[in-house]
Amino acid sequence: MPIWAILVVVPVAVLLGTVLLASKNGASGRPHSSAALSETEGDYKARQDLIPKLEETLKVYTFNRREGPGNVAVAFSGVPGTRATGDQIP
């Protein structure tokens, strides 16, 4: 195959492939990409809205981890039929 044929055929094939690919994705690709971007932005907004809820949950959890066991023991101490922690099971 002559060198001039390679120099003509390869660029024409690349150009043709680029044109076909662009026409295939051109009109239909843009709405899909903007819809995907919009969906992603919505996901980020939803996650951002969850951050204050997560902070509040962590505050309650850490408070309960510190104060909870003592409060549970005090709450159950007045209930008839309950045992203290050190009592043996008969």
Domain that holds residue 50: 30-75
pLDDT of residue 30 exceeding 60, the answer is no
Q: How confident is the model at residue 8 (pLDDT cuts 50, 70, 90)?
A: confident
Tally of CA atoms within 13 A in the half-sphere of 89 that contains its CB: 0
Q: Is residue 64 part of a domain?
A: yes
* pLDDT given at position 21: 75
The token pair at 77 is: 């101490």
* pLDDT given at position 38: 83
Q: Is residue 63 part of a domain?
A: yes
Segment 35-62 mean pLDDT: 88
Model's pTM, two decimal places? 0.37
Q: Is residue 8 part of a domain?
A: no
Q: Is residue 10 part of a domain?
A: no
Whole-number Å distance between alpha carbons of 34 and 28:
11
More reliable by pLDDT, 69 or 43: 43
Among left, alpha and beta (phi > 0; psi -120 to 50; other), residue 81 is left
Residue the block writes with tokens 């204050």: 52
Q: Is residue 47 part of a domain?
A: yes
Total structural domains within the chain:
1
